[in-house]
Amino acid sequence: MTSTTDRSQTLHPLLADRRSSRAFDEGHRLDDATLTSLLDAARWAPSANNSQPWRFGVARRGEAAFDALASALAPGNQAWAARASVLLLVAAADADSSGRHLPWAVYDVGQSVAHLTFQAASMGLGVHQFAGFDHDAVAREFGVPASWKVTTGIAVGRYVDTDSDSVDPKWDGRERVRNPLSTFVFSERFGEPRWS
Ligand SMILES: Cc1cc2nc3c(=O)[nH]c(=O)nc-3n(C[C@H](O)[C@H](O)[C@H](O)COP(=O)(O)O)c2cc1C
């Protein structure tokens, strides 16, 4: 593993500075225009055959949907996600309208969330994705059809602290590490590093 300090100097600041903080500002409100921009960024992501196999549920803090989503979170996630301005519920299509399986749907949905994430960063907002929640309970609560897979949730808001995790010091630094390129970039044979 390596630290956050060894990033390429040419990495764009939106990428270099992005992090999944848990220190959301409870006083922040996300307006509809900003929310629409974030979802528009997701909308313009590429997808296999332009299938656009995503759905986003929107729950602003104070709305019943927010409480419903927050109550399904794993306890460790409840501690911080309930302070976000908006929680988004993400679902991926299993098949198109003619019933044909969409093998790349989850890949496409992840990419649309990445676009949303960097649009948010460009607007000074933080995004923290989470998978730790009761997926079946949420699918039931929000009436997600069986042909759709609930994948993840996304907490969006303003961070009060971007340098440390003020929610719980146990997280500090743990998520600021990455494997070196030599461990995952290959050329002629899988597993043989292109660069040492
Ligand atoms: C699909 C997915 C699921 C995640 N689930 C959780 C989660 O349930 N709880 C949590 O605190 N963080 C969750 N995270 C955040 C990751 O732990 C975090 O992105 C990773 O540690 C790297 O940190 P960074 O985003 O700050 O670079 C999730 C991230 C992704 C992409």
In contact, 137 and 127? CB cutoff 8 Å: no
Nearest CA to ligand 1 atom 21: 175
The whole-angstrom separation of Cα 109 and Cα 51 is 10
Q: What is the pLDDT of residue 1?
A: 40
In contact, 116 and 41? CB cutoff 8 Å: yes
Chain segment 60-91, per-residue pLDDT in tens: 999 999 999 999 999 999 999 999 999 999 99
- Specify the residue for token string 């988004």: 88
State the distance from the centre of ligand 1 to the C-alpha of 104, rounded, in angstroms: 21
Chain segment 140-160, per-residue pLDDT in tens: 999 999 999 999 999 999 999
Chain segment 119-143, per-residue pLDDT in tens: 999 999 999 999 999 999 999 999 9
User: Nearest-CA neighbor of 125 among 7, 42, 38?
Assistant: 38
State the distance from the centre of ligand 1 to the C-alpha of 85, rounded, in angstroms: 18
In contact, 86 and 35? CB cutoff 8 Å: yes
The whole-angstrom separation of Cα 45 and Cα 109 is 9
